[in-house]
Amino acid sequence: MVGLYDPRFEHDSCGFGLIAQLDDRRSSDLVAAALSALARMSHRGGIGGDGLSGDGCGLLLRRPESFLRALAEESGIRVGMLFASGLVFLSRDHIAAESARRELAAQAARLNLHVAGWREVPIDESACGPAALATMPRIEQVFVNAEPGSDTGSFARALYRLRRRTEIALQHDNDFFVVSLSPWSIGYKGMVIPGRLGDLYPDLSHAEVSASAAVFHQRFSTNTEPRWALAQPFRFLAHNGEINSIQGNRNWMRGRGAKLRSPLMDFREFEPLIELEGSDSQSLDNMLEVLLVGGLELPQAMRMLVPPAWRDTESMDPDLQAFYEYFALSSEPWDGPAGIVMLDGRYAACTLDRNGLRPARWLLTQDRHLVVASETGVYDVAAENVVAKGRLGPGEMIAADLYSGEFLGSDDIDRINRNRAPFKRWLKQGVSYLESDLIDPSLATEPMDDHTLASFQKRFGLSREERDAV
């Protein structure tokens, strides 16, 4: 018998936030503040009857370099000048887990990467309830050394190839899941209540763990099955809300995947490029990752995927409008309501979709911390220490540039994007616009009887609620 549940229609309504130190100064205090903020979002997620199992929560940290090197040395693992480390969910079956390790090592060797070693991540199972324990995977940490002479960008692309090739080879293994594997960040997540994430992973409470930016998330599964792999943040983002256009986005990506080109990456061997049966948030994270490894920067990629309302906006700068129109030719908007926080190698950012129906409040402090959250009260700060604060509106985006130390508002991001290329000239040279009068004048003047009107309302998807309330 086929049930009503279908993983393709998974949506969430969650709590999220980020903390970033604009000067890229790492500190253990920032990690502690992120854990504390996450714990204050317990009301945002579901809690199981055992009082400890949750819908899922997590933390994505800008990589604590010295701490990871110390962990590797402690475990007898030799890491190079350029390396990546990340958590991996494996099967509880020892044979299946060993098979996954060997496959990842073999794929790494084909890419001239070297798996330096695996570390069993310390886990405090008392932080989990029975429901979470019943489905908890084996959690290990892998260390991968870059090919000698690689730069960070080429290494990140090699890690993407490594992960995707391994996922394709192990598609029969439902337990295998790479939480994160990046030269820039590391993620921790699980099916626990947010106040116990630091207990689940004692590494997070270590005095030496430090970061300059963190994204945190508490999941609320509105119509989904809680799963360890679906806890957020994913590899680049955390998301509150729903992508109501998700089926169309996935279908368009399947159709256009073969046409996706980048001088940096041949994506054809990795199709489908986005997860078709995970949550909507996971698919969006996949799509963002594709654009980033393909060479786009985060503010550009995110404005391409989740643009503001730009059509027929007379007040918008023509060059900026050309930027959005240019990218609209190759990507439909991922429409919410959605609030999204992100972290990559350079930016910590937050955006709202053009509907603007998810809360995202921000503040900037004198000690140059940017704090964003889905509600106030998750971060302790004295009023006299606040330099600026606000709330994101529909289609707005803010970011911390951890390279330059700048706080970027929506206008700053738009200015950067519109100046990236001569989009208006490209449109004029390469786009033809078809114009035609498709309106039947008789429909505008000839009155309809009730039966005909009802037929047209159904045809165009107008519900009684919309007719009566809107």
Q: Which residues are catalytic?
A: 14
Q: Residue 195 has what DSSP assignment?
A: G
Strands 361-365 and 386-391: antiparallel
Question: Phi/psi of residue 414, each to 5°?
Answer: -65, -40
**What three-state secondary structure class fits 220?**
coil
CB 188 within 8 Å of CB 59? yes
Q: Judge if the upstream peptide bond of residue 272 is cis by omega within 30 degrees of 0.
A: yes
Residue where the block lists tokens 């949550």: 279
Residue 427, SS3?
Answer: helix
Please report the sign of the dihedral spanned by the C-alpha atoms of residue 278, residue 281, residue 287, residue 289. negative
Q: How many CB atoms lie within 10 A of CB 53?
A: 23
CB 58 within 8 A of CB 232: yes
Question: 3-state DSSP helix/strand/coil percent for the chain, to nearest 5?
Answer: 40, 20, 40
Region of 112 please: left (phi>0), alpha (psi -120 to 50) or beta. left
CA 42 to chain centre: 21
Contacting residues for 278 by C-beta, under 8 A, at least 6 apart: 7, 10, 229, 230
- The set of residues, in sequence order, having a beta carbon less than 8 Å from that of 452 and lying 6+ positions away, is none
Contacts of 415 (CB under 8 A, 6+ apart): none
Q: Which residue has the tokens 């030496």?
A: 208
Per-residue tokens: 241 = 């809300």
